[in-house]
Amino acid sequence: MKKEIHPKNYRLVVFKDMSNETTFLTRSTALSKEKIKMDDGKEYPLIKLEISDTSHPFYTGKMKLVDSTGRVDKFMNRYKSHIDKKKIK
């Protein structure tokens, strides 16, 4: 193994899944400007995630659309009449 290739500045960081508000604490070198206060009363850097193992369909077994920008709604509104016609046939 090569020596001196791994970062030395690991620290405790909170990752938060924004789709279901789940948080977990782990060590990371990821930089963050935001902080969050956890149950233990300490403040940790916060990294926001769009999706994690607690919300991803592969891990949960449930099909759930995670859409933070409204793209699915725009699509459904645009093609609603076409989709309704297919359902009737």
pLDDT at position 20 over 70 = yes
The pLDDT assigned to 1 comes to 73
Number of domains making up the chain: 1
Inside any domain, residue 3: no
Inside any domain, residue 1: no
SS3 27: strand
Range of the domain at 37: 11-88
DSSP 3: S
Q: How far apart are CA 89 and CA 85, in angstroms?
A: 7
Inside any domain, residue 2: no
54: which 2 tokens? 């607690």
pLDDT at position 56 over 90 = no
Mean pLDDT of the region 26-45:
93
User: 71-85 pLDDT, tens per residue?
Assistant: 777 777 777 777 676
Higher pLDDT, 39 or 57: 39
Residue in the structure block whose two tokens are 């459904």: 76
